[in-house]
């Protein structure tokens, strides 16, 4: 990820009644993103094998009427965390899911950091609001999908 200043960062936390291993396994496979992120239209893995540092994905995300393709790569993966980084000619970002066992199941902390590039930097002041809207749209969908993992 470039050493530029983060233009926007957003974190959301939620607790679901599903076991940590199911939640972490599900969210660590980025090809499931269209199921839990209403702004991800498609995601495909570009390589094969287990999810590991270096695994790559091609994402297509929607922002209003715009469809944006980007390539992302797993930068860190453990039993309790996965981080992807990537982007395209307009923006780069880092997305992290951290997982922790909770009395009621699993707590998930989802953090997204965004950097704009080139002419896209003119949109810097708009990014925090857009990120909040995306999170507001996605958090209920993510919660509902993860709650289904509680059912054996």
pLDDT digits (tens, 9 = 90+) for 91-144: 778 889 999 999 989 999 988 887 766 545 555 566 656 666 766 666 777 888
d(CA 95, CA 82): 8
Structural domains in the chain, sorted by start: 8-150 (3.30.530.20)
pLDDT at residue 51, rounded to an integer: 95
Q: How far apart are CA 2 and CA 33, in angstroms?
A: 24
Evaluate if pTM is beyond 0.75. Answer: yes
Please report the pLDDT score of residue 81 as a whole number.
95
pLDDT of residue 1: 44
pLDDT at 146 over 80: yes
Number of Cβ within 10 Å of residue 11's Cβ equals 12
Cα gap 122→124, rounded to integer Å = 6
Instruction: Tell me the HSE value of 49 on the side-chain side, using a 13 A CA sphere.
Output: 7
**pLDDT, tens only, 9-28:** 778 899 999 999 999 999 99
Average pLDDT score, the chain: 83
**Residue 2 has what pLDDT?**
44
* pLDDT score, position 55: 96
Cα angle at 98 between 87 and 143, to 5 degrees? 90
DSSP, res 17 = S
């Amino acid at each position: 990820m470039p050493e530029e200043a983060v233009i926007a960062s957003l974190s959301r936390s939620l607790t679901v009644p599903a076991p940590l291993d199911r939640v972490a396994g599900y969210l660590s496979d980025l090809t499931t993103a269209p199921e839990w992120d209403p702004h991800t239209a498609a995601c495909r893995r570009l390589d094969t094998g287990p999810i590991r540092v270096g695994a790559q994905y091609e994402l297509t995300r929607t922002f209003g009427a715009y469809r944006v393709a980007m390539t992302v790569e797993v930068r860190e993966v453990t039993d309790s965390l996965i981080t992807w980084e990537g982007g395209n000619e307009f923006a780069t970002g880092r997305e992290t899911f951290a997982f922790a066992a909770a009395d009621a199941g699993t707590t998930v902390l989802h953090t997204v950091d965004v950097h704009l590039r080139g002419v896209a930097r003119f949109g810097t002041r708009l990014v925090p609001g857009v990120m909040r809207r995306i999170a507001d749209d996605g958090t209920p969908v993510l919660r509902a999908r993860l709650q289904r993992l509680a059912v054996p």
